[in-house]
A and B are shown apart, each in its own frame.
Chain A
Amino acid sequence: MTTWVLSLEQAPALRVDLRGIVPAALAGLSLDQIERLPVFHGNDTLPLAELCHVEGVNGNGAMTLVLQGDFSRCDRIGWQLAGGYIEVRGNAGDYVGAGMTAGEIRVSGNTGVLAACEMQGGLLDVAGNVGDFAAAALPGSMDGMRGGTLIVRGSAADRFGDRMRRGTALVFGDAGDFLGSRMVAGSIAVGGRIGAHCAWGMLRGSIVCAGAAPSIAPTFVPTGHDISVFWQLLARDLARLGEPFAALPARRIRRIAGDLAVGGKGELLLPH
Chain B
Amino acid sequence: MQINGVTIDDTFAEAFPMKATRLVITAHNRTWARHAGVTATGFATSVIACGCEAGIERELGEHETPDGRPGVAVLMFSMSGKELAKQVERRVGQCVLTCPTTAVYAGLAEGEQIPLGKNLRFFGDGWQIAKMIDGVRYWRVPVMDGEFVAQETTAVTKGVGGGNLLLLARDTDAALAAAEAAVAAMRAVPNVIMPFPGGVVRSGSKVGSKYAALPASTNDAFCPSLVGLAARSELGDGIRCVMEVVIDGLTDTDVANAMRAGLQAVTDAGAEAGVLRVSAGNYGGKLGPFHFHLHKLLGEEALA
Chain A residues with a Cβ under 8 A of chain B: 166-168, 185-187, 204, 206, 225-230, 232-234, 236-237, 249, 265
Contact in complex: B132, A232 (CB < 8 Å) = no
The binding surface of chain B is classed by DSSP as strand
Residue of A nearest to B102 (CB): A229
Question: A166-B132, A233-B133 known; A225 and B147 CB under 8 Å?
Answer: yes
Say whether B34 faces chain A, with CB atoms less than 8 Å apart: no
In the bound complex, what is the Cα–Cα distance between A185 and B137 (angstroms)? 13
* B48 CB to nearest A CB, Å: 37
* A14 CB to nearest B CB, Å: 40
In the bound complex, what is the Cα–Cα distance between A230 and B127 (angstroms)? 15
Stretch at the interface among B6-14, B66-74, B228-236: B66-74
Question: A166-B132, A185-B130 known; A233 and B146 CB under 8 Å?
Answer: no
Residue of A nearest to B128 (CB): A265
Contact in complex: A187, B131 (CB < 8 Å) = yes
Contact in complex: A230, B149 (CB < 8 Å) = yes
In the bound complex, what is the Cα–Cα distance between A8 and B133 (angstroms)? 38
Contact in complex: A237, B134 (CB < 8 Å) = yes
Contact in complex: B129, A229 (CB < 8 Å) = no
Contact in complex: B133, A234 (CB < 8 Å) = yes
Contact in complex: B147, A233 (CB < 8 Å) = no
Number of residues of chain B lying within 8 A (CB) of chain A: 19
Residue of B nearest to A240 (CB): B134
In the bound complex, what is the Cα–Cα distance between A227 and B67 (angstroms)? 11
Residue of A nearest to B144 (CB): A225
Contact in complex: A225, B146 (CB < 8 Å) = yes
Find B69's partner among A229, A237, A265 (CB 8 Å cutoff).
A229
The binding surface of chain A is classed by DSSP as mixed
| Central interface residue in A167, A168, A228, A229, by most chain B CB within 10 Å | A229
Known contacts A233-B149, A237-B133; 13 further A-B pairs (Cβ under 8 A): A166-B132, A185-B130, A186-B132, A187-B131, A226-B146, A227-B146, A229-B26, A229-B67, A232-B69, A233-B131, A236-B66, A249-B68, A265-B129
In the bound complex, what is the Cα–Cα distance between A226 and B68 (angstroms)? 15
Say whether B138 faces chain A, with CB atoms less than 8 Å apart: yes
Chain B positions within 8 Å of A187 at CB level: 131-133
The total of Cβ contacts below 8 Å across the A-B interface reads: 50
Contact in complex: A230, B130 (CB < 8 Å) = no
Chain A positions within 8 Å of B149 at CB level: 229-230, 233
Chain A positions within 8 Å of B66 at CB level: 232-233, 236
Query: Can you give 17 A-B contacts (C-beta < 8 A)?
Result: A185-B130, A186-B132, A187-B131, A187-B132, A204-B129, A225-B147, A226-B146, A227-B147, A229-B67, A229-B146, A232-B69, A233-B67, A233-B133, A233-B149, A234-B133, A237-B134, A249-B68
Chain B positions within 8 Å of A265 at CB level: 127, 129
Contacts of B127-175 to chain A: CB distance below 8 A: 127, 129-134, 138, 140, 145-147, 149
Residue of B nearest to A225 (CB): B146
Say whether B103 faces chain A, with CB atoms less than 8 Å apart: yes
| Central interface residue in B127, B133, B145, by most chain A CB within 10 Å | B133
Contact in complex: A230, B131 (CB < 8 Å) = yes
Residue of B nearest to A224 (CB): B146
List the 9 closest pairs (A to B, CB-CB), nearest first. Answer: A226-B146, A225-B146, A232-B67, A229-B149, A229-B103, A237-B134, A229-B67, A237-B133, A232-B68
In the bound complex, what is the Cα–Cα distance between A236 and B67 (angstroms)? 8
Contact in complex: A226, B69 (CB < 8 Å) = no
Question: A226-B145, A227-B147 known; A233 and B129 CB under 8 Å?
Answer: no
| Central interface residue in B68, B127, B130, by most chain A CB within 10 Å | B68
